[in-house]
Amino acid sequence: MENPGLVVHGQAASFSTALRSLVNNPQYSDVCFVVGQERQEVFAHRCLLACRCNFFQRLLGTEPGPGVPSAVVLSTVPTEAFLAVLEFLYANSVTLHRCSVLEVLTAAVEYGLEELRELCLEFVMKVLDVELVCEALQVAVTFGLGPLQERCIAFIEAHSQEALQTRGFLELSATALLPVLRSDKLCVDEAELVKAARNWARVGAVSGIWGRRGRSGGGRRNSASGRQGTGPRSAGAQGSLPQAVLERPVAEVAAPVVRELRLALLAPAELSALEEQNRQEPLIPVEQIVEAWKCHALRRGDAAPGAPCRRRRGTLPRDHHRFLDLRLK
């Protein structure tokens, strides 16, 4: 019986370097991608992409025409992220950066590149900070990345005050904001959380600022996060928003999440001030405010089943809180 032989390996580093030199190299390229909103040309090689990724195998299934490489338009992926995807496909390694890793992660999920997705997730976990966490949460919710979502929620719980001031918070979708507002572990007082929710709803209601919460993302075009950004802006810098043209009523934008605000935690004076502000700029359903007043009037936490009154980790003590744990007989 013939010996099957022995597989021996050459230097992996030199092989990887040689293949990496082909990334976006027009020499011998037989396909050209037109990438991103800036429509930048990126050159690649069909056989390599097709054998490494089923997405590209399907996309490039037809034979190229004679002459110049055929152009494939991919307008939703940023150029930097697409080049990172190509680097991984060519060299089986990738250079990740904090400022673009979420776009690379989004592309990896959409292109079905599980190994690259895991590399991106590991990297995001390591570099997660206040400025990145809400954008990462949006990506996690959009693509059902449970471990990343849990990590982001835990980070926001520990750094609530700072996270609520970021542009990423304002760009969250309602679906991504809900688990944040439902948390008992937020280190922020309810009065501050109400203000943050109002700022979030104002941004969602204004046209021409960041547009709709949809597919395009923040200032670096995170394709899953929600809206097209125009530059850094904090939640405290919304003074100009009421003068802009409203695309949707603030109350309509807030409707999916506002029930998670625990108004019964507010003191009577705070609740009165909120009620007056709500008359001028509707945000919270009137019946929700009425339920909070019932808790005050009856001095019971369960006086109104629709008025959650569990204290959060950051809830500041108020005199009436001693009644919240009492139950109606």
pLDDT of residue 223: 45
pLDDT computed for residue 237 by the predictor: 41
Q: Kindly state the percentage of the chain with pLDDT values over 90.
A: 68
Q: State what percent of residues in the chain have pLDDT above 70.
A: 81
Q: What percent helix, strand, coil does the chain show, rounded to 5? A: 50, 5, 45
CA distance 103 to 315: 35
Specify the 3-state DSSP secondary structure of 42.
strand
Q: Which residue has the higher pLDDT, 174 or 215?
A: 174
Query: Mean pLDDT lowest for which of 196-210, 217-231, 302-316?
Result: 217-231
Strand order in the sheet with 40-44: 40-44, 31-35, 70-74
Residue 296: band (very low, low, confident or very high) from pLDDT cuts 50, 70, 90: confident
Q: Which residues of 231-256 are buried (b: 16+ CB within 10 A; e: fewer)?
A: eebebeebeeeeeeeeeeebbebbee
Greater confidence, 192 or 60?
192
pLDDT band of 47, cuts 50, 70, 90: very high
